Amino acid sequence: MATSLGTNTDISRSLAATVKPSFGKPRTRQLCQFGASVGSVSRKCQLLSVNSGAAQARTRARSLSKDSSVITAVMDGENLSYKKAGVDIDAGSELVRRIAKMAPGIGGFGGLFPFGDSYLVAGTDGVGTKLKLAFETGLHETIGIDLVAMSVNDIVTSGAKPLFFLDYFATSSLDVDLAEKVIKGIVDGCEQSGCVLLGGETAEMPDFYKEGEYDLSGFAVGSVDKGSVIDGRDIVAGDVLIGLPSSGVHSNGFSLVRRVVARSGLSLKDLLPGGDVTLGEALMAPTVIYVKQVLDLISRGGVKGIAHITGGGFTDNIPRVFPKGLGAVINKNSWPVPQLFKWMQEVGNIEDSEMRRTFNMGIGMVLVVSAKAAQGILVDEKMVAYRIGEVVSGGGVNYC
Tens digit of each residue's pLDDT (9 = 90 or more) over 119-141: 999 999 999 999 999 999 999 99
Whether residue 280 contacts residue 268, with contact meaning beta carbons closer than 8 Å, is answered with: yes
3-state secondary structure (DSSP) of residue 330: strand
One DSSP character per residue, 223-272 reads EEEGGG---STT--TT-EEEEEEPSSSTTS-HHHHHHHHHHHT--TTSBP
Q: Are 181 and 137 in contact (CB under 8 A)?
A: no
Nearest to 158 by CA among 306, 345, 30: 306
Please tell me the pTM assigned to this model. Answer: 0.77
Supply the pLDDT for residue 94: 75
Query: 191-218: per-residue pLDDT in tens?
Result: 999 999 999 999 999 989 999 899 999 9
Amino acid at 278: T
Q: How far is CA 52 from CA 102, 197, 342, in A?
A: 53, 50, 21
What are 119's strand-pairing partners?
114, 224
22 alpha carbon, distance to own chain's centre:
15
Residue 137: alpha-carbon gap to chain centroid: 20
What does the alpha-carbon distance between residue 344 and residue 254 come to, in Å, rounded to a whole number? Answer: 11
Eight-class DSSP state of 209: S
74 three-state secondary structure: coil
Q: Which top CATH class is 83-399?
A: alpha beta
d(CA 163, CA 121): 10
Distance CA 164, CA 152 (A): 9
List Cα–Cα distances, 372 to 275, 302, 326, 375, in angstroms.
37, 8, 20, 5
Residues near 237 by beta carbon (within 8 Å), at least 6 away in sequence: 326, 391, 392, 393
Question: How much is the pLDDT for 82?
Answer: 66
Tally Cβ neighbours within 10 Å of residue 360: 30
Specify whether the CB–CB gap between 144 and 189 falls below 8 A: yes
Residue from 253, 251, 249 nearest 83 by CA: 253
Specify the amino acid at residue 127.
V
The torsion defined by the Cα of 207, 209, 214 and 215, in degrees rounded to 10, comes to: -120
The reported pLDDT for the residue numbered 153 is: 97
d(CA 276, CA 82): 27
pLDDT, averaged in runs of 10, over the chain (400 residues): 36 32 33 29 28 36 36 54 68 70 65 94 94 95 97 97 97 95 97 96 93 94 96 95 97 92 94 94 97 97 96 90 94 96 95 93 97 94 94 92
Q: Which helix (H) or strand (E) holds 385?
A: none
